[in-house]
Structure 1
């Protein structure tokens, strides 16, 4: 069921972004009297799942969910319709329009992407506000188990205070600013120290099977006891929080292994918390130091706050304040995404190894349905789509914009033949990038 929910969110988000992006080209084209021959969600290679002609435009849905397109008359695009381009320009064609109109048509999709992202962040601010884990209230630091970090000197219990030049005020600031950080500053036993990150850490992280960094430390919260467990008759229920085993306090789940090793093969008394009441019970520890209990790997923030592990900071916005809240989220995400592209473009960081394709995007969505999460991811993907389309690669919007700016500055329009060659080169570059990104996904799925 989880994978179906993921796929549903992926297709819904992708379809929304494609349709609105293409509308960004379609609307100004129509306003300037330019004929649009096709408007497609997904690609219609050989055949369409659906199509209907209304006026001069064929609207349809293709079967290949790798994007979408509008086919504008008199424009050299991925269709490479050289026969039509060999004819005399018609008044309704793209090539007959002034350069400034053509520029607006080409920038329309990207502009819509950015507007959409801002609008989503505006409503997220207004409807949900901001809710963060206050880093200053987190007890006993973070869980550090990834060998990439422990080999650098990080330990469980470290309190991370700065990531690069960013002060950590909320827990989300750690991962949010991790890409490109040259140093990590922490406090250990009250002493501050700074650890320098290797330049190729992102490459090492991409090569690793593990995806954990500085994680929250959780208590041992019972999920259930299997019927086959040697402790199946014990009075433990879902949500019980185990506090002690024998005479040992169990504040965090990561402390359990040495405690169970001490009591293996014995019956031991435990205490657990159930609805604010502390209860005692006896259970068995197997000879291989197991309890036969299934526990949760984490806990919802409200539970953790109630148990006193940290405090949440919540900020609500009025309708007017949401304009500023949405703007801060929007600009913050753009800044972070450009930071990611900078690291990817530097071969020495190895960050290019982490570039993913459609499978990676699919896995960004959770396996449960939450509208706040869905819209947050969709807003970020809209920014990503906008920025990538601005890259000066022929076949992308940015490539067309590059040639249009050249034309407007020089007063000379590149020839149709040159544009055909440029479009062909850009198409192969684009295919290579798509193959590389999705090849990374396949490589990771098979070998990691």
Structure 2
């Protein structure tokens, strides 16, 4: 049932994005009286799951869930159907329209993707606000594991800047560190700047960035699980753990490290309760978990937005996501980081979906992925929207149309490049699965 929920979420997100992207081409084509022969969700190689012709357009659902398309009359596209182009141009064909109209038709999908992300982020900020942990409120600094130490960071550091840029939110600081070149921290009262090693980033990507960097906090208990070791020992929500076996454990990471290394051992836990110190005994179970949750309410803040304020904030969030995605290419193309090995295809993306339905994640992921599709589609690669835009801009600047032979050759080259990339991504997904069983 879990995998079914993940797959359904992924297919629904992709379906909505594909339909809206293709509408971005379809609507201006219809507006400019250009004949649209097909409108398909997914690809109908050899056959389709469903199809119905309404007017001049055949609407359908293909069986290959790798995107979708609209087939516009008189246009060289991924179908490579050039028979029609051998006839005299007709007024309803794409090739007969002015260059500026063709440009609007070809950029329509990307524009819709961008606007969709903007709308989603606006509504999320309006409804939920923006909850985050401010970087400057981490008075106890960060906590890192051995992977974070490979990057040059140390537990207790306070992050000041990454690449001379101050970050407002802690989660943004994490991404900036992964994508950045150098970081400035306050360590033992001194400000130091050091480069972020490619070797450290390689380890971060190899482990998919799990827990290499966190924030340090006092061991304040927010919740005690029913029938847990902690409840049986008498621990209560609101207790502050200050020691174990007479040794000070001022921070949560120190306490959890002590618990993890004391399986089947009896421990004397010192807690601060209502201004008084109390001592409680417990035996750490085999799984090394005693059943308490950390209280982080003193760290996180929420910025609330009116509807009007959420509109520019949603736009800024969209631009920030786009900027971060562009920055990722710098890391992916740096072979020393090994980031290219972690590029995910459909299988890997399905695994990212939550195991229970989460509407906030659903819309947030759709917005992020919509920006990603807009960025990829506008790249000047033949067979993508950006490739068509590239040839159109050449025509508008030079006053000469590229020959049909050039367009056909470009389409073939682009198609081969995209198929090669798809094979690489799918192969990466499969290899990552295989490695779990080796």
Fold in common (TM above 0.5): yes
Q: CA deviation at 1:239?
A: 7.0
- CA deviation vs aligned residue, 1:158-217 (integer Å, no higher than 9, x gap): 222222222133212212323431112222232222221124654443334653331234
Which string of whole-angstrom CA distances, capped at 9 and with x for unpartnered residues, describes residues 345-393 of structure 1?
4555544333222233334433333323322221111111011001111
**Residues 119-138 of structure 1 deviation map (CA, whole Å, 9 limit, x = unaligned):** 11221222222221122322
Deviations 1:418-446 (A, max 9, x none): 22221111100111111222222222222
Aligned mates of 1:105, 1:14 — CA distance in 2: 21
SS at match of 1:320: helix
**3-state DSSP class of the match of 2:43?**
strand
Rounded Cα–Cα distance in structure 2 between residues aligned with 1:77 and 1:324: 36
Task: Deviation per CA, 1:2-39: give whole Å up to 9, x if none.
Answer: 43333222122111111100000000111111111111
- Distance of aligned partners of 1:97 and 1:153 in 2 relative to their CA distance in 1, 3 Å threshold: closer
Q: Which residue of 2 aligns with 1:129?
A: 129
Matched, 1:174 2:148: no
Match of 1:361 among 349, 352, 358: 349
Q: 1:54 aligns to what?
A: 54
Distance 1:25 1:277 in 2: 68
| 1:148 is the counterpart of 2:136 | no
Q: Distance in 2 between matches of 1:327 and 1:402?
A: 26
Q: What is aligned with 1:107?
A: 107
Please list the CA deviations of residues 59-90 of structure 1 after superposition, one character each: whole Å capped at 9, or x if unmatched.
11112211011111111111111222222222
Q: Does 1:247 align with 2:236?
A: no
Matched residues in 1 for 2:45 and 2:273: separation?
Answer: 59
SS in structure 2 of the partner of residue 167 of structure 1: coil
2:429 corresponds in structure 1 to 441
Q: Secondary structure at the match of 2:379?
A: coil
Structure 1 moving runs of 4+ over 6 Å: 236-242, 261-265, 272-279
SS of residue in 2 equivalent to 1:120: helix
8 Å CA contact 2:240–2:273 kept in 1: the answer is no
- TM-score normalized by structure 2? 0.87
Question: What residue number does 1:234 align with?
Answer: 232
Any conservation in 2 of the 1:38–1:59 contact (CA below 8 Å)?
yes
Q: Provide the rounded CA distance (Å) in 1 between the counterparts of 2:42 and 2:274.
A: 52
In the superposition, the TM-score normalised over structure 1's length comes to 0.85
Indicate if the aligned counterparts of 1:200 and 1:351 stay in contact, CA closer than 8 A: no
What SS does structure 1 have at the residue aligned with 2:44?
Answer: strand
Q: Is the 8 A contact 1:224 1:293 kept in 2?
A: no
Unaligned runs of 5+ in 1: none
Q: Deviations over 1:290-314 (max 9, x none)?
A: 5764546x75xxx411xxxx43222
Q: Distance in 1 between matches of 2:194 and 2:284?
A: 40
Match of 1:304 in 2: 296
CA contact (8 A) 1:183 1:197 kept: yes
Q: SS at the partner of 1:92?
A: coil
Aligned pair in 2 of structure 1 residues 447, 224: CA closer, same or farther (>3 Å)? farther
Which region of structure 1 is more displaced relative to structure 2, 367-376 or 110-119?
Answer: 367-376
Secondary structure in 2 aligned to 1:110? helix
Secondary structure at the aligned position of 2:186 is classed as strand
Aligned-CA RMSD value: 3.2
Q: Unaligned stretches of 5+ in structure 2?
A: none
Alpha carbons 1:223, 1:238 under 8 Å: kept: no
In 1, Cα distance between equivalents of 2:277 and 2:347: 46
Three-state SS of the structure 1 residue aligned to 2:355 is coil
Map of 1:185 onto structure 2: 184
Q: How does 1:267-346 map to 2 (within 5 A)?
A: 267-270=266-269, 281-285=280-284, 293=289, 295=291, 303-305=295-297, 310-346=298-334
Q: Number of aligned pairs?
A: 432
1:304–1:407 distance in 2 versus 1, CA, 3 Å: same
d(CA) in 2 for partners of 1:386 and 1:346? 23
Query: Structure 1 residues 239, 360: CA separation in 2 closer, same or farther (over 3 Å shift)?
Result: farther
What SS class does the counterpart of residue 51 from structure 1 fall into? strand
Q: Which SS does the other structure have where 1:34 is aligned?
A: coil
